[in-house]
Amino acid sequence: MMDEKSPPPAMVESLVSKPVQEVVANSSNQVPERYIYKGEDGSIDASFPLLEVPVIDILRLLNSSSDDDELLKLRSALASCGCFQAINHGMESSFLDKVREIAKQFFLLPIEEKHKYSRTVEDLQGYGNDSVLSEHQILDWTDRLYLIVSPEDQRKLKFWPQNPECFREILHDYTTKLAMLNELVLKSMAKSLNLEENCFLNQYGERATMFARFNFYPPCPRPDRTLGLKPHADGSAITCLLQDKEVEGLQILKDGQWFRVPIIPHALLINVGDQAEIMSNGMFKSPVHRVVTNSERERITLAVFCMPESNNEIEPVEGLIDEKRPRLYKSMKDYGNIYFQNYQQGKRPIDAAKL
Ligand SMILES: O=C(O)CCC(=O)C(=O)O
Ligand SMILES: [Fe+2]
């Protein structure tokens, strides 16, 4: 029975923890207890093998016929590791560098300046990090800036930095290009399964949602006991990750083992999220991943989460259900919210969608 005095976990969202950059500034090379994984299982290894993430040529997907090798490659990539490195996506390397630069400039701003964009307890959007739900929660060694990008009328511009000056314009340009890439990837995913090309996109609705999350991982004095981001799978349909150009840190769980994800500076790492796993009736895998820290260098990434409008019902497409492959997931609305509630309680959210 729940103690009368303690409200259920989802309601206790109480504190917004301090930015790690501030913890670092005040802690003379010590990592506070709240970030430390303890015991035998707490030891974190950054030296796992590199994953051979398939490289997919987007230009070839654009012109592909249904038996194109590139589609086969896409299908096998998403069914095995759940991700691929997209090249020839139409964005110049110099443009990707500009996107990286606005992220860096923002996190380099003085603390007081960044606090103008701080999220409050009620808000998901803004500058900040983990919500603290219990005193036992182990915190991630990362600071974030989280923004709704689409639908445009849901943008809260008070959280969109005006410094650097070009921040808003570049984020807008970048995400406009990603919306097109997302559409092409979803069509190609359908074609690769011999389905009508709009069968996944039809579940998006008119007002598809896009969130941007800028992640900043400061150097950490205890990389063996601290995680930049705890293991999770994304709640999106598709995530596009712009990795740091030089500093590794992302790891993916495949067949029960962690693998490092290599950096290709001009590529975008695209991964399946839970909603595409649901729509594809489990044909495509939403991979569990985490971020490790290092003691030498900061790491900056930008994840953009693309997903159906929250009022739209999503479900496994008909063509992927038969006697040999029974339906695995329920129909559901507002998966984003279900995701958030489960994630905060340390559960794997997609389990709530299983039949
Ligand atoms: O920073 C990274 O490499 C991964 C970020 C991530 O997984 C996320 O933001 O969901
Ligand atoms: Fe993620």
Confidence category of residue 53, pLDDT binned at 50, 70, 90: very high
* Look-up of token digits 């606005």: 102
- Output the pTM of the full model: 0.94
For ligand 1, whether the C-beta of 17 sits within 6 Å is no
Residue 306 pLDDT > 50: yes
User: Backbone phi, then psi, for 323, in 5-degree steps?
Assistant: -60, -40
Atom number in ligand 1 closest to CA 234? 10
> What would the mean pLDDT of 287-312 be, rounded to a whole number?
96
Given ligand 1 and candidates 229, 236, 245, which is best to mutate, with the most ligand atoms within 8 Å of its CB? 229
The mean pLDDT value of the chain amounts to 92
Atom number in ligand 1 closest to CA 301? 1
Q: Quote the percentage of the chain above a pLDDT of 90.
A: 78
Q: What is the model's pLDDT at position 1?
A: 37
Look at ligand 1, atom 8, and give the residue with the nearest C-alpha. 303
Q: Could you tell me the distance, in angstroms and rounded to a whole number, from the CA of residue 222 to the centre of ligand 2?
A: 22
Q: Could you tell me the distance, in angstroms and rounded to a whole number, from the CA of residue 221 to the centre of ligand 2?
A: 23
> What would the mean pLDDT of 94-109 be, rounded to a whole number?
98
Query: Contact at 8 Å (CB) between 127 and 115?
Result: yes
Q: What is the model's pLDDT at position 124?
A: 84
Q: What is the model's pLDDT at position 29?
A: 81
Task: Say which residue, 160 or 136, is predicted with more confidence.
Answer: 160
Q: Could you tell me the distance, in angstroms and rounded to a whole number, from the CA of residue 322 to the centre of ligand 1?
A: 35
Q: Which ipTM value was assigned to this complex?
A: 0.99
Q: What is the model's pLDDT at position 10?
A: 44
Given ligand 1 and candidates 236, 239, 260, 301, which is best to mutate, with the most ligand atoms within 8 Å of its CB? 301
Q: What is the model's pLDDT at position 107?
A: 97
Q: Could you tell me the distance, in angstroms and rounded to a whole number, from the CA of residue 188 to the centre of ligand 2?
A: 22
Q: Is the torsion defined by CA of 292, 293, 296, 301 positive or negative?
A: positive
Given ligand 1 and candidates 143, 210, 232, 250, which is best to mutate, with the most ligand atoms within 8 Å of its CB? 250
For ligand 1, whether the C-beta of 303 sits within 6 Å is yes
Lowest mean pLDDT among 1-5, 37-41, 182-186: 1-5
Atom number in ligand 1 closest to CA 249? 3
Residue 64 pLDDT > 50: yes
User: Backbone phi, then psi, for 99, in 5-degree steps?
Assistant: -65, -45
Torsion of CA 32, 34, 36, 39, to 10 degrees: 130
Query: Contact at 8 Å (CB) between 302 and 99?
Result: yes
For ligand 1, whether the C-beta of 289 sits within 6 Å is yes
Lowest mean pLDDT among 25-34, 98-107, 218-227, 317-326: 25-34
DSSP line for 45-104: -S-PPBP-PPEEEHHHHHT--TT-HHHHHHHHHHHHTSEEEEES-S--HHHHHHHHHHHH
Ligand nearest to the CA of 303: 1
HSE of 148, CA atoms in CB hemisphere, 13 A: 19
For ligand 1, whether the C-beta of 290 sits within 6 Å is no
Give whichever of 7-21, 122-136, 180-194 has the largest mean pLDDT. Answer: 180-194
Tens digit of pLDDT for each residue in 205-223?
889 999 999 999 999 999 9
For ligand 1, whether the C-beta of 181 sits within 6 Å is no
> What would the mean pLDDT of 264-268 be, rounded to a whole number?
98
Residue 2 pLDDT > 60: no
Look at ligand 1, atom 9, and give the residue with the nearest C-alpha. 303
Lowest mean pLDDT among 57-71, 180-194, 240-254, 295-309: 57-71
Ligand nearest to the CA of 142: 1
Q: Could you tell me the distance, in angstroms and rounded to a whole number, from the CA of residue 303 to the centre of ligand 1?
A: 6
The CA–CA distances, whole Å, from 210 to 113, 153, 352 equal 26, 12, 22
Distance CA 342, CA 347 (A): 5
Q: Are strands 55-57 and 289-292 parallel, antiparallel or unpaired?
A: unpaired
Q: How many CB atoms lie within 10 A of CB 1?
A: 3
Q: Could you tell me the distance, in angstroms and rounded to a whole number, from the CA of residue 337 to the centre of ligand 2?
A: 16
Q: What is the model's pLDDT at position 15?
A: 64
Query: Contact at 8 Å (CB) between 232 and 322?
Result: no
The three-state secondary structure class of 256 is coil
Give whichever of 10-14, 125-129, 199-203 has the largest mean pLDDT. Answer: 199-203
- Categorise residue 178: left if φ over 0, alpha if ψ from -120 to 50, beta otherwise: alpha
Residue 11 pLDDT > 60: no
Say which amino acid occupies 109. Answer: L
Q: How many CB atoms lie within 10 A of CB 299?
A: 22
Burial class (CB in 10 A: 0-12, 13-18, 19+), 54: middle
Q: Quote the percentage of the chain above a pLDDT of 70.
A: 95
Q: What is the model's pLDDT at position 346?
A: 81
